[in-house]
Amino acid sequence: MTVSSRMQLITALVQRDPDRIIGTRESDWVDFKSVWPGVGPYDLGTDKGKYELAKDVAAFANAGGGLIVCGFKAVQKTTELYETATKATPFGKELVKPNSYKDVLTEYLRPLVKVDFHWFDHPDGDQDTAGHYFVIEVAPLPEQERWAIVTRGLNEDGKFVRGAWAIPVRNGDTTAYLSPDEVYRLVNDGLRVRRGPAARPTPHADRAAERAALRSRLNMDDTPVLFFQSTPSPLTGLLPGMYATGGVVEALTHQDTLRGVTAFNFASGIHRPEPLDGGLLLTSPPRWGLWVEADGSVTAAVAADREMLGWAMESYGSHQFGRISVFVLTEITLEYFRLVDRAILPRLDGPWTHSVVAVGFAQAPPRTLAPGADPEFPFQGAPQPATSDAWSQSWEAFGDPERDAHAALQRLYPLFGLDVAANPFTDPAAGRVDPQRLVGVS
């Protein structure tokens, strides 16, 4: 077995199941470090060790962030292109002093990069091995703050060279460096921006890895899925009040829904939000899952099958088509934004980006959507099949649930060749979803 995402790797360590990580290849999101006896993963008593730590952290910060997982031996076989975790090598906590790691990063990185340190225990009862695993979680620098620079270089003897510097970048399973030509271009681009008009905002980064991780955790890899995502800009660190009284955990546990926990929303009378890697995960398999990350980013997944979006639609139309309920689609969309716009967005200043992503909707049998309401209500036309398997649309959040829900549906309906005005629960003139129309049907 291997893991394919940060969430899966952290989950394996939390569950004391390091064997699941064996066979995982190094990539743009994970680097494995074995441990030197009596020294640890980085020898901070040497210039070379300090440089290696600063370089590895900067490389992930200059890419998409990632995990430096200490306590696994990685080997590149002659028949493979990548180094792969081949053996668990847990070690004693006395070999790592997190404050010393922080001091090195503070001294040798500009700007300061956000990192979190995590310890995980090796399973009890192992007669051959004992100890712990140490994970350095590196947050990506926002685009407008890149690049992280290591403020020293190394000579051939492994000694610091003052006045030298480097800009490392994680590239697949290796570390590359920006060339002098690239640095020259960046400097001149910056000068031109200063002299000219204000730079355009950085485009919203697609959080595909988070969607894939949540989809896998819900065992929805073969199920068409509708995702909602919300991301602050810039990513500034930890979302305030994640576990506090009156904070996010309470908002998820006691949701203010339109029609109670048995309706189509992200509330549950059975499941409770679980702490996960500094954030919270709330799931109700096989129907939906919602993940609030430590930095405030939110990813929600909804199954586009008879368990959720196709609820009660099986008896209407051919069995070859996966018909989506207009009512369910509209209610779950509005409930997502009622939760996120009210409980998450106000905790971080600055613009937020909302996204709606439909994955696998055109695969056989395709998901279909009809104009008007569901068949038991006034019916306007035939169901239309989805025309893409990878539909993704984003917009700057309004922070108003009814407006954001309308914006999501406005971007989803064209996937089926329809206009959002065909949805009877919307007010196109006002650009809003009308909650009273939904409650009135129930």
Could you please report the per-residue DSSP string of 195-263?
Answer: HSSPPPPPPPPP-HHHHHHHHHHTT-TTS-EEEEEEEESS--SPPTTSSSTTSHHHHHHS---SS-TTS
Residue predicted with more confidence, 226 or 221: 226
Q: Mean per-residue pLDDT for 397-402? A: 95
Residue 203's pLDDT band (cuts 50, 70, 90): very low
Residue pLDDT, tens place only, 47-66: 999 999 999 999 999 888 99
Domain boundaries along the sequence of the chain: 6-177, 208-441
Q: Is the dihedral of CA 330, 331, 332, 336 positive or negative?
A: positive
User: For residue 234, is the peptide bond before it cis, meaning its omega torsion is within 30 degrees of 0?
Assistant: yes
| Per-position b or e across 145-157, b if 16+ CB within 10 A of its CB | ebbbbbbbebeee
In this structure, are residues 426 and 409 in contact, taking their beta carbons and an 8 Å threshold? yes
User: Using CA atoms, how far apart are residues 192 and 430, in angstroms rounded to an integer?
Assistant: 42
Given the structure tokens 């990539």, which residue do they identify?
A: 27
Q: What is the mean pLDDT of residues 310-322?
A: 67
Kindly provide the b/e burial profile for residues 87-124, where b requires at least 16 CB atoms within 10 angstroms of the residue's own CB: ebbbbeeebbeeeebeebbeebbeeebbbbebebebee
What is the pairing mode between strands 66-70 and 225-232? unpaired
pLDDT at position 375, please? 78
For position 71, what pLDDT does the model report? Answer: 96
Instruction: Answer yes or no: is pLDDT of 318 > 70.
Output: no
| Spatial CA neighbour of 336 closest among 252, 243, 214, 420 | 252
Confidence of residue 321 (pLDDT cuts 50, 70, 90): low
Min mean pLDDT across 213-227, 333-347, 379-393 is at 379-393
- Please state the φ and ψ torsions of residue 119, each to the nearest 5 degrees: -105, 140
Q: Residues 232, 297: contact at Cβ < 8 Å?
A: yes
pLDDT in tens, 405-442: 999 999 999 999 999 999 999 998 899 999 999 998 85
Q: What is the 3-state secondary structure (H, E, C) of 10-28?
A: HHHHHCCCHHHHCCCECCC
Q: How far apart are CA 261 and CA 275, in angstroms?
A: 21
Q: What is the mean pLDDT of residues 309-337?
A: 83
What is the average pLDDT across 119-130? 90
Please write the tens of the pLDDT for every residue from 249-277. 999 999 999 999 889 999 998 889 999 98
281 burial (CB, 10 Å; 0-12 / 13-18 / 19+) is buried
Residue with tokens 């975790």, as numbered in its chain: 85
Distance CA 292, CA 282 (A): 9
Between 140-144, 265-269, 299-303, 367-371, the lowest mean confidence (pLDDT) is in 140-144
Closest by CA position to 74, among listed 195, 222, 173, 160? 173
User: What's the CA gap between 187 and 366, in Å, rounded?
Assistant: 49
- For residue 1, count CB atoms less than 10 angstroms from its CB and return exposed for 0-12, middle for 13-18, buried for 19 or more: exposed
Torsion over CA of 205, 135, 8 and 298, rounded to 10 degrees?
-40
Query: Are 252 and 180 contacting, i.e. CB atoms less than 8 angstroms apart?
Result: no
Residue 197: predicted pLDDT: 46
Say what the alpha-carbon torsion angle 187, 189, 191, 193 is, to the nearest 10 degrees. Answer: -150
- Supply 355's token pair: 């996204």
Q: Where residue 386 falls among pLDDT bands split at 50, 70, 90?
A: very high
pTM recorded for the entire structure: 0.57
Pick the CATH number of 6-177 from 2.40.50, 1.10.238, 3.40.50, 3.30.950: 3.30.950
Instruction: For residues 27 and 367, give the distance between their C-alpha atoms in angstroms, rounded to a whole number.
Output: 34
What pLDDT shows up at residue 206?
Answer: 67
The enclosing H or E element of 323 equals: strand 322-323
Nearest 10 degrees: CA dihedral of 232, 346, 290, 119?
A: 70
Among candidates 229, 228, 222, which has minimal Cα distance to 360? 222
pLDDT of residue 407: 96
